[in-house]
Structure 1
Amino acid sequence: MTLYLITGALTALITFALAWVVWKLALRYRIHPAIRERDVHTTPTPRLGGVAMFLGVAVAFLFSSQNPFFALIWADPVPMLAVLGATLLIVIVGVADDLWDLDWMIKLGAQFLAAGVIVWFGQLQISSLPIGGMTVGSSWMSFVLTVLSIVLVMNAVNFIDGLDGLVAGVCLISNGVFFVYSYLLVRDTGASTYFNLASFLAIVLVGACVGFLPFNWHPAKMFMGDAGALMLGLLMATSAVAITGQIQPAMLDPDQFGRSQLLGAFIPILLPVAVVLLPLLDFGLAVVRRLRAGKSPFAPDRKHLHHRMLDMGHSDLYAVLIFYAWTAVIGLAVLLMYIATRENWFGQYWIGVGFGVLGAAACLVVTLSPRRRRVPTTPQESL
């Protein structure tokens, strides 16, 4: 655990220092795009935060390659280099889009290519699910399912990048919860070492978000842009695949989950989905909304969940804090369900269910009770 925390702290410090450098250079050379109609901010702001975040992640990879504790994943360096190479590809495309607004087909093609590199060369695939021994039908079906899952999470995370500190904070909370979960899961399955790729990626992403958030907090000095949001989505999905796709049903004894064997079997795949539930919900609503209007699923509009909260009367900061609360409640509820069933707590999974119900009720009250009323305006286009 100590080396995990050191890795996260190192990533945060490097990201913070490089974010300051990138911010200064962007201001000096005016490297920032013009304000678009769909943007919420009113002052030209650099969008190169993703560059600093990627460099912080790259330093963490370099640190791990030289540390004996992480020797397990570097025994064969090809998968790790594949993950890093795919991340570099998506960051380059994201920076290009932030500066020159690329066609959505180019961005989507790059996302599929990056996901394909991780699955093919990184040797990370969803081959089995811990539900009654269920396995994916074939290697090609596994490949397609994994690639689609990674691309889905990338776009879901990118879609909610619309307010100061929103994505950085949501991903910080999500990856923090997922780090604890993956660490405990490996411990509970009786592994000889508690180190695993999923926990490593999760703590690195926590560090990157912690280091960048001071520059992105309202009012933001710099945005992470598509480069940062797509990178976060890519590595979050990779982390989930690394832990979920490699769990063998025999490793988790359903009898130990207490009163609900079915729930116990579902928890290992439920939490990876829960930590990105809000981005996935927003993405799904956007796709359905745009297709019903006869538009491309990637056509911009101003009807995302965070835009709706602004239109309800929430301030930018208050809307972001509400998103944080929802993310924490959903993630912690499922995590508590897992911990309670494994530790045989009194009430077992109902502890997590109760926390989730009470937390969701509180979040719902706050969400539906804006602090001020906003005069309705004509919707403007936004991602």
Structure 2
Amino acid sequence: MRIYLLIAAIAGGVTWLVTPLIRHVAIHIGAVGEVRARDVHTIPTPRMGGLGMLIGFAFAMIYSSRIAFTTGLFENNNQEWVILAGAVLICLLGMADDLWDLDWMLKMAGQLLISVFVAWGGLQIISLPLGSLITASPSISVTITAILIVASINAVNFVDGLDGLAAGIVAIGGVAFAAYSYIIARNSPSYASMATLIDVAMVGICIGFILHNWHPAKLFMGDSGSMLLGYLITCASIVMTGRLDPASIHASVYLLVFMPILLPILVLFLPVLDMCLAIVRRLSHGQSPMHPDRMHLHHRMLRIGHTVQGAVLILWGWAALIAVGSIMTLFFKVHYVLIGFVIAVVLLTVATMYPYLKRRLPEIAAENQSYASARRRARHSFDESGDGKKRRP
């Protein structure tokens, strides 16, 4: 465990140190996000922060390949280097978008090509939990892997709208993944796990970047960062659950936690929900699925009345509830987890709606008082009208 904490610290420290340099580079080359109608920030801010996170991640991976505890993960196995190569490519694609605002179809095509490259390089979902674990054909494995990577990349990209939001959500998911993959690795002769290694390094770069990205942000991660984080968290989940041994584990027992397609959705529940709502909303209005608007979850939080920091913290809370709740059954009985889940849902719901209720309840009380006064006046007028009729000869 201490080795993993060291790796996370190294990844976070390197990211924190190089990010100011990346900020100056972004300003120099013109990677500065102009204020658009859908944006929350009010002044032009440099982006391309994903390059700093990539450097932190790459440094952590190279360092891990040189220490005794994890060096065995890199021997006779090119999967780790394929993942790193894919991270470089996806970050470069994001940097191109940060600089030139690529067309969404071109960007999607690039994401798909990189995902296929990584899948052909060895990162694949081999076993599918359909009642019992079955081995998928190479073409099906590549297809499912590529679709899952592209979906996760865009889910994180969609939710990246407030300072620190995307990095925090991915960090929370990374912690949940790391805890679970570490538990799985403890059943093996060596505690070393590539999934845990990727997770802790990813958590480290998220924390290192948030220190520069907290509101008001000095630098945005841009597409180079959001796409990188979506890619890494999916790679970790595939490494952890994509190669289960059908002979050693029966999927019906661990279906909810082993399913490779379900795990990223649980951890990235808010980004996936936001992405699905946006696609449905835009298609229903006859727009492109990538057409920008101000109807994302974080926009709605601000419209309710939350500050930027408050909205981010509450959305982090919802992300933690889903991500951590998905692995709590490993440590506690299910009914205890459900009780805690319900309590947390109630508390988060109150926190989410508090600004609206704080503003709306006095308005409702004033409206009720005005309505009651109007009724009293009407009744008084009616009574006077009735008394007058009785006094007529």
Partner of 2:226: 229
Name the SS for the 1:135 alignment partner.
Answer: strand
Greater displacement, 23-32 / 132-141: 23-32
Name the SS for the 2:163 alignment partner.
Answer: coil
Work out the CA distance in 2 between the residues paired with 1:226 and 1:302: 18
1:245 and 2:242 matched: yes
Asked if structure 2 preserves the Cα contact closer than 8 Å seen for 1:252 and 1:265, the reply is no
Partner of 1:354: 339
**In the alignment, which of 352, 366, 386 is matched to residue 367 of structure 1?**
352
Greater displacement, 134-143 / 58-67: 134-143
Q: Post-superposition shift, 1:295?
A: 1.6
Partner of 2:164: 165
Partner of 1:336: 328
Q: Post-superposition shift, 1:146?
A: 0.9
Listed as ranges, the matches of 1:55-74 within 5 Å are 55-74=55-74
TM-score by length of 1: 0.88
Work out the CA distance in 2 between the residues paired with 1:34 and 1:225: 12
- Quick one: structure 1 residues 373 and 46, their matched pair in 2 at CA, closer, same or farther if it must change by over 3 Å? farther
- Quick one: structure 1 residues 110 and 193, their matched pair in 2 at CA, closer, same or farther if it must change by over 3 Å? same
**In the alignment, which of 302, 313, 316 is matched to residue 321 of structure 1?**
313
Question: Structure 1: which amino acid aligns with 2:225?
Answer: G
Q: Post-superposition shift, 1:173?
A: 1.0
Work out the CA distance in 1 between the residues paired with 2:72 and 2:220: 35
Once the two structures are superposed, residues 226-278 of structure 1 have per-residue CA deviations (whole angstroms, 9 ceiling, x without a partner) of 00000000011111111111123443467xxxxxxx56432223544311111
Kindly name which structure, 1 or 2, has the bigger radius of gyration based on alpha carbons. 2
- Quick one: structure 1 residues 29 and 150, their matched pair in 2 at CA, closer, same or farther if it must change by over 3 Å? closer
Name the SS for the 2:34 alignment partner.
Answer: coil
Q: Post-superposition shift, 1:279?
A: 0.8
TM-score by length of 2: 0.86
Once the two structures are superposed, residues 6-28 of structure 1 have per-residue CA deviations (whole angstroms, 9 ceiling, x without a partner) of 11100011000001222244456
Work out the CA distance in 2 between the residues paired with 1:290 and 1:86: 30
Work out the CA distance in 1 between the residues paired with 2:253 and 2:81: 36
Q: Post-superposition shift, 1:222?
A: 0.7
Partner of 1:146: 145
Q: Post-superposition shift, 1:73?
A: 2.6
1:217 and 2:190 matched: no
Task: Number of aligned residue pairs: give it.
Answer: 357
Partner of 2:271: 279
Work out the CA distance in 2 between the residues paired with 1:283 and 1:77: 35
Work out the CA distance in 2 between the residues paired with 1:77 and 1:250: 23
Asked if structure 2 preserves the Cα contact closer than 8 Å seen for 1:264 and 1:338, the reply is no
Which consecutive residues of structure 1, in runs of 5 or more, have no partner in the other structure?
A: 255-261, 341-347, 375-383
Asked if structure 2 preserves the Cα contact closer than 8 Å seen for 1:244 and 1:268, the reply is yes
Asked if structure 2 preserves the Cα contact closer than 8 Å seen for 1:65 and 1:71, the reply is yes
- Quick one: structure 1 residues 169 and 127, their matched pair in 2 at CA, closer, same or farther if it must change by over 3 Å? same
1:266 and 2:266 matched: no
Q: Post-superposition shift, 1:118?
A: 1.4
- Quick one: structure 1 residues 30 and 299, their matched pair in 2 at CA, closer, same or farther if it must change by over 3 Å? closer
| Aligned-pair identity (%) | 39
Asked if structure 2 preserves the Cα contact closer than 8 Å seen for 1:160 and 1:304, the reply is yes
Question: Structure 1: which amino acid aligns with 2:60?
Answer: A
Work out the CA distance in 2 between the residues paired with 1:129 and 1:192: 25
Work out the CA distance in 1 between the residues paired with 2:265 and 2:185: 18
Partner of 1:51: 51
Q: Post-superposition shift, 1:77?
A: 5.0
Partner of 1:87: 87
Question: Structure 1: which amino acid aligns with 2:303?
Answer: D
Q: Post-superposition shift, 1:315?
A: 1.4
